[in-house]
């Protein structure tokens, strides 16, 4: 079991499991990449080996988000250079902590499944491997009309053969305008995953702190947990009704 660092999620799922593939998805802009980054960081801080495939953005962008989340510094302030001395101290400490982790990023062309398998085999041998994150599933090198299905099957094989957990972020395409995406829009992809995690923004009335639902779907059942998302530094944390987030 690989604990995600989110207590309610770990309670409902037993954490991420070796040999299993989880698809993390949501409507656009709900924060699924940030959630995957937070889980990656939580595992890496427990001496787990994590590889993050940055296919939707560069590793520099991802690292910037990771550093500001860990330092709890507003990402916009970093991008615009509006930082105070305390911000710099926090960022320096966060960078120092991150440099010691077994957390690697793929920042190149969109890899094929074969290239991913070779890369991950090497990393497992040299550094150890517990979690692989793919952001996004749709950006793994195209293999044809049924790209998503072939990719999800291939990632499942990687999870099983390397005895690691794979977290694949998926962005479904809305078939028509005027409605929100739902788990049903994942189509056949959902049938090949061990479980689906669907992220939904529940309450965004406070601009800097969203309360989100995470639906955990597997074996015909659905469990829902709540998490809090600090939008200013793109960090998800455990949610408690006993805390006043205002």
Question: What one-character-per-residue DSSP string does the chain give?
Answer: -B--S-HHHHHHH-SB-TT-EEEEEESTTS-HHHHHHHHHHHHHTTT--EEEEE-SS-HHHHHHHHHHHHHT--HHHHHHT---HHHHHHHHHHHHHHHTS-EEEE-SSPPPHHHHHHHHHHHHHHH---EEEEE-GGGS---STTHHHHHHHHHHHHHHHHT-EEEEEE-PPPSSSSS---GGGGGGGGGGSSEEEEEEEEEEEETTEEEEEEEEEETTEEEEEEEEEEGGGTEEEE--TTS---
Strands 209-218 and 165-170: unpaired
- Say how far apart CA 163 and CA 177 lie, in whole Å: 40
Question: Do residues 13 and 195 make contact, with C-beta atoms less than 8 angstroms apart?
Answer: yes
Q: In order of start, what are the domains of the chain with their CATH numbers?
A: 7-60+104-238 (3.40.50.300)
Q: Structure pTM?
A: 0.91
pLDDT in tens, the chain (246 residues): 899 999 999 999 999 999 999 999 998 889 999 999 999 999 999 999 999 999 888 888 888 888 888 888 877 666 667 777 787 888 888 888 888 999 999 877 788 899 999 999 999 999 999 999 999 898 887 554 458 888 999 999 999 999 999 999 998 876 666 678 889 889 888 999 999 999 999 887 787 889 999 999 998 899 999 999 998 888 999 998 656 655
- 85 vs 26: CA distance, rounded Å: 37
Task: Give the pLDDT confidence score for residue 142 in this predicted structure.
Answer: 58
Check residue 56 and give its pLDDT.
85
The pLDDT value given to residue 144: 46
Query: In 204-232, which positions are buried (b, 16+ CB within 10 angstroms) versus exposed (e)?
Result: eeeeebbbbbbbbbbeeeeeebbbbbbbb
């Amino acid at each position: 079991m690989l604990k995600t660092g989110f207590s309610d999620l770990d309670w409902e799922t037993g954490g991420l499991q070796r040999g299993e593939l989880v698809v993390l998805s949501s409507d656009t802009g709900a924060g699924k990449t940030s959630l995957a980054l937070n889980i990656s960081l939580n595992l890496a801080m427990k001496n787990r080996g994590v590889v993050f495939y940055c296919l939707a953005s560069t590793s520099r962008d991802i690292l910037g988000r990771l550093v500001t989340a860990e330092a709890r510094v507003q990402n916009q302030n970093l991008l615009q250079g509006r930082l105070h001395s305390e911000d710099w101290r926090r960022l320096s400490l966060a960078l120092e902590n991150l440099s010691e982790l077994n957390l690697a990023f793929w920042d190149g062309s969109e890899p094929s499944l074969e290239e991913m398998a070779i890369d991950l085999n090497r990393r497992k041998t040299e550094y150890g491997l517990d979690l692989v994150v793919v952001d996004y599933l749709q950006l793994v090198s195209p293999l044809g009309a049924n790209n998503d299905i072939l990719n999800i099957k291939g990632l499942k094989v990687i999870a099983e053969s390397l005895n690691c957990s794979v977290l694949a972020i998926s962005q479904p395409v809305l078939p028509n305008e005027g409605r929100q995406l739902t788990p049903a829009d994942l189509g056949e992809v959902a049938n090949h995953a061990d479980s689906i995690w669907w992220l939904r923004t529940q309450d965004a009335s406070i601009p800097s702190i969203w309360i989100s639902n995470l639906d955990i779907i597997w074996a015909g059942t659905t469990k829902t947990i709540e998490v809090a998302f600090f939008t200013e530094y793109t960090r998800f944390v455990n949610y408690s009704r006993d805390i006043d987030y205002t």
